Structure 1
Amino acid sequence: MTKLKLTGKALRNIGFPEGPAISIAITAMEQRFKHHTEAAALDILKQVLTDPMAYLADDALRKIAGRLMEAKEEEDIPLKEIPVPYEIFGAGFIETGALQQMNSAVRLPVAVAGALMPDAHQGYGLPIGGVLATNNAVIPYGVGVDIGCRMCLSILDLPVDQLDKKASRFIDALMKHTKFGAGEEWDEPAEAAVLEHHLFRELPLLRRLLDKAAGQLGTSGGGNHFVEWGLVQITGATDCHLAPGTYLGLLSHSGSRGLGAQIATYYTRLARELCPLPREAAHLAWLEMDSEAGQEYWQAMNLAGDYASASHHEIHRRMIKATGAQLLARVENHHNFAWKEVHNGQELIVHRKGATPAAKGVCGVIPGSMTAPGYIVRGRGDAASLHSAAHGAGRAMSRFTATQSITRYELNKQLREHGVTLIGGGPDEAPMAYKNINEVMAAQQGLVDVVGRFQPKIVRMADDGSKED
């Protein structure tokens, strides 16, 4: 069998940079892949060249990947030496990883302002709880994979005592009319105006995703996504026009499902090709707003946000119909999105990755955990926060740590003590895995006014081990 022989010319033809990377690649491939054809070997090298970071742990390819990343860093767009200053809310309980990610974000050449919310923890690109304002640039990973992930609270006309007296009715509605987890779809897709959007016909990526989007409309992801019945206590003036008092409520948390994930993956890869950054900031690659790619992503992102909203409305429609309720009022908001906003007289792109819009007078929902209360808030328009607030309690433990340190018995004990019925879910989403929501709220008193509370009573989450959030 003929042994593999590669040439520098062949590697340069597929895009390898001049320098040591070529000789390192030839040596490694001829030693470790000596029985491959030249075409097969070059296909492997193309994959490594496209995403060298993915091969750093591969015994056969890591030397090639490492040298390619070193060569890439030599060509990277440099970060600012002096970072943009930013305000940290609740600094005492924000992990180091989140701070490091935010410190990289505010050194981007396009960064203008930033803020870190008290529920912040490490994510990808921007930390969860990170807010970043940029000039003429949108960062796909500054929005996140679950584009338009949001809260939706419906306040209903049913007597509040029915949650106890007729609990089986509400449990049955959750079981029959919600679906959770990666890949879950309805057998008979719902109809919605968002599915008729012209972008589903005009953009090839979205055209391929239309059928999946139709099937997943009205479903929820895994991880920390939920649909739950509970008690709503209105204590102050909202934009709901409801008198103070206690109401029955339905609260949901999820986003744009596979549609948003595919949009995020596609345009993040494109951004990284067009905007090479140092390793610590690579996921923060941006698209210029006046470029074709930037405009495509912006339109697709907004469509994914509209889809997420329509998906929540479909969930609520099914649940309200199943229980014979009437809708009195609704409060809802995105928390993985980017907005065009004017701050200090300048139009900026404000990314809120796990952060709630909190412009003056704007209402939203900040959830706690499956036993802790969520809060209905009205924004105060704080300039230092870029008109933002936390999007929840925020994780105190990673999912892995939670599953290793919290038992199902401990979770069930917490549920019993708080009178909460849980369908699905697991220790990775246990209340103990989250920060204390009351401490988070105390750290942002200057950002929002609390005008109501939501206390969960019957909660449904994914039970298939999905990790979408």
Structure 2
Amino acid sequence: MPYEQLKLSTDKPVLSWANHDLGHEETKMAKNVASLPFVFKHVALMPDVHLGKGALVGSVLATKDAVIPAAVGVDIGCGMAAIKTPFVAEQLEGKLKKIRLDIESAIPLGFNQNKEVEKDASNWQGWTHFKDLHRGVQDVQGKAMKQLGSLGGGNHFIEVCLDTEDSVWLMLHSGSRNIGNRLAQCHISTAKELAKLAGNRLPDPDLAYFIAGTPEFAAYWRDLQWAQNYARYNRDVMMARFKRIVEKHLAGGKPIKPLLEVNCHHNYAEKEVHFGEDVYVTRKGAVRAREEDYGIIPGSMGAKSFIVKGKGNHESYCSCSHGAGRLMSRKKAKKQFSLDDLVTQTQGVECRKDGGVLDEIPGAYKPIDEVMNNQADLVEVVATLKQVVCVKG
């Protein structure tokens, strides 16, 4: 589906791939962002767009000489990683529960962290720059080191999947853990203080921003890049452990070479060139999809997921959706669905089926096929996956 320009009275147009009308609060949020003076050309909304904080989740902003910390969000660098293995479906028979239990034992979930700092974590080159980060996080380096290689909670997950040719894929979703959250909160607070002192009339306090060339901008950009690198490496460490578990069960512990590897952010900001100009692009719940870029678009814990390749659509700032997108809040999902619904909707998947993951039930998410149909001009599908093991944070 090509995009449509929303009928909004804003300084900059809002282009949407969502193929549905935005709700009142979503419309207000889109208008707030599009009214900012430093927004470049237009705002792009992906097919999975829904309410966020300050900016919509599933939105792509290009800005000139300014960046909005809350638009990036608090899970800086959150994203996906996946590898295609040479294993096939029949090799998994009778082993799914053992694999799930090993994952849950080897990779800390939720608020948990590693008991000791592992070699992979301590060797990360990013630690040499930790002392340069915001003073508000200098007391948590030990925690950050122990959390490298941990999943986190919410909608973060680890999955064993099969594609349509019965090849086995390993996939996971995670970000920058507590350290990314702490850094984001420090800078969001600073941006709000600056806006208040300057008397800036913002349509939403969460749209407080930093201007390029200022010390505050430089400090945020430095910390942002650090946290994005931490998030990417966090996924690498987890994927290495995950791969060893699957190798133990399917190859007697013999290492295998992945046939394809993908690791992509979907909550982040980078400096890019669009329409011939240098801009800061913030993807809040969106994946970069330049030509030949590989990306990952997961469904819910009972639905299909997709490995994609970008088409380089310039109107979307070379972006695509980051998933199915929530259809309802976690609170509403818990009220509307029962454990029996969860069991039914995750049939055939080796996963937890208890109240702790009820808010992640597939019915709480938009239909992934509809989301994919709406972005046929943004990406091409490389592989269609269906999970057989799902571990939630």
Give the TM-score taking structure 2 as reference length.
Answer: 0.89
Query: CA shift at 1:125, angstroms?
Result: 1.2
Q: Out of 65, 84, 88, which is 2:12 matched to?
A: 84
Q: Out of 360, 370, 374, which is 1:439 matched to?
A: 370
Task: Indicate conservation of the 8 Å contact 1:189/1:215, yes or no.
Answer: yes
Verify: 1:128 aligned to 2:57, yes or no: yes
Q: Give the number of the structure whose residues are more often strand, by fraction.
A: 2
Verify: 1:256 aligned to 2:179, yes or no: no
2:70 matched to which residue of 1?
Answer: 141
2:191 matched to which residue of 1?
Answer: 271
SS in structure 1 of the partner of residue 346 of structure 2: helix
Verify: 1:411 aligned to 2:342, yes or no: yes
Render the CA deviation track for 1:372-423: whole Å, top value 9, x for unaligned.
111111111111111111100000011111000011111111112xx11113
Query: CA shift at 1:206, angstroms?
Result: 4.2
One-letter amino acid of the structure 1 residue matched with residue 359 of structure 2: D
Partner Cα separation in structure 1 for residue 56 and residue 277 of structure 2: 24
Partner Cα separation in structure 1 for residue 224 and residue 63 of structure 2: 16
Q: Out of 138, 143, 156, which is 2:85 matched to?
A: 156
Q: Out of 94, 97, 100, which is 1:165 matched to?
A: 94
Query: CA shift at 1:318, angstroms?
Result: 1.1
Q: CA RMSD in A?
A: 1.7
In structure 2, the CA distance between the partners of 1:281 and 1:216, relative to structure 1 (3 Å rule), is same
Task: Indicate conservation of the 8 Å contact 2:202/2:208, yes or no.
Answer: no
Which consecutive unaligned segments of at least 5 residues does structure 1 have? 1-80, 234-244, 463-469
Task: Indicate conservation of the 8 Å contact 1:173/1:323, yes or no.
Answer: no
Query: CA shift at 1:82, angstroms?
Result: 4.3
2:229 matched to which residue of 1?
Answer: 306
SS in structure 1 of the partner of residue 59 of structure 2: strand
Partner Cα separation in structure 2 for residue 147 and residue 446 of structure 1: 27
Query: CA shift at 1:293, angstroms?
Result: 1.2
Task: Indicate conservation of the 8 Å contact 1:94/1:118, yes or no.
Answer: no
Task: Indicate conservation of the 8 Å contact 2:100/2:351, yes or no.
Answer: no
One-letter amino acid of the structure 2 residue matched with residue 453 of structure 1: T
Query: CA shift at 1:223, angstroms?
Result: 1.0
Render the CA deviation track for 1:221-260: whole Å, top value 9, x for unaligned.
2111101111134xxxxxxxxxxx4421111001000011
Render the CA deviation track for 1:49-89: whole Å, top value 9, x for unaligned.
xxxxxxxxxxxxxxxxxxxxxxxxxxxxxxxx842112111
1:421 matched to which residue of 2?
Answer: 350
2:300 matched to which residue of 1?
Answer: 369
Query: CA shift at 1:94, angstroms?
Result: 4.2
Task: Indicate conservation of the 8 Å contact 1:393/1:434, yes or no.
Answer: yes
Partner Cα separation in structure 2 for residue 290 and residue 319 of structure 1: 42
Query: CA shift at 1:287, angstroms?
Result: 0.8
Partner Cα separation in structure 1 for residue 87 and residue 233 of structure 2: 24
Query: CA shift at 1:144, angstroms?
Result: 0.6
Task: Indicate conservation of the 8 Å contact 1:169/1:323, yes or no.
Answer: no
1:327 matched to which residue of 2?
Answer: 257
Q: Out of 95, 107, 132, which is 2:35 matched to?
A: 107
One-letter amino acid of the structure 1 residue matched with residue 129 of structure 2: L
1:382 matched to which residue of 2?
Answer: 313
Partner Cα separation in structure 2 for residue 326 and residue 254 of structure 1: 23
Partner Cα separation in structure 2 for residue 119 and residue 198 of structure 1: 38
Give the TM-score taking structure 1 as reference length.
Answer: 0.75
Task: Indicate conservation of the 8 Å contact 2:96/2:388, yes or no.
Answer: no
Task: Indicate conservation of the 8 Å contact 1:147/1:264, yes or no.
Answer: yes
Task: Indicate conservation of the 8 Å contact 2:10/2:31, yes or no.
Answer: no
1:332-351 map, 5 Å = 332-351=263-282
SS in structure 1 of the partner of residue 235 of structure 2: helix
> Which 10-residue stretch deviates more, 311-320 or 348-357?
311-320
User: Percent identity at matched positions?
Assistant: 34
Task: Indicate conservation of the 8 Å contact 2:62/2:280, yes or no.
Answer: yes
Task: Indicate conservation of the 8 Å contact 2:63/2:281, yes or no.
Answer: yes
SS in structure 2 of the partner of residue 197 of structure 1: helix
One-letter amino acid of the structure 1 residue matched with residue 132 of structure 2: E
> Which 10-residue stretch deviates more, 383-392 or 83-92?
83-92
Which structure has the larger Rg over C-alpha atoms?
1
Verify: 1:118 aligned to 2:118, yes or no: no
Partner Cα separation in structure 2 for residue 302 and residue 352 of structure 1: 14
> Which 10-residue stretch deviates more, 191-200 or 387-396?
191-200
SS in structure 2 of the partner of residue 165 of structure 1: coil
2:138 matched to which residue of 1?
Answer: 207
Partner Cα separation in structure 1 for residue 239 and residue 89 of structure 2: 18
Partner Cα separation in structure 2 for residue 255 and residue 196 of structure 1: 15
1:283-298 map, 5 Å = 283-298=206-221
In structure 2, the CA distance between the partners of 1:82 and 1:323, relative to structure 1 (3 Å rule), is closer
1:22 matched to which residue of 2?
Answer: none
Query: CA shift at 1:295, angstroms?
Result: 1.1
> Which 10-residue stretch deviates more, 162-171 or 430-439?
162-171
Which consecutive unaligned segments of at least 5 residues does structure 2 have? 1-8, 248-254
1:69-80 map, 5 Å = none
Render the CA deviation track for 1:5-54: whole Å, top value 9, x for unaligned.
xxxxxxxxxxxxxxxxxxxxxxxxxxxxxxxxxxxxxxxxxxxxxxxxxx
Task: Indicate conservation of the 8 Å contact 1:370/1:430, yes or no.
Answer: yes
SS in structure 1 of the partner of residue 279 of structure 2: strand
Partner Cα separation in structure 1 for residue 195 and residue 38 of structure 2: 12
SS in structure 1 of the partner of residue 93 of structure 2: helix
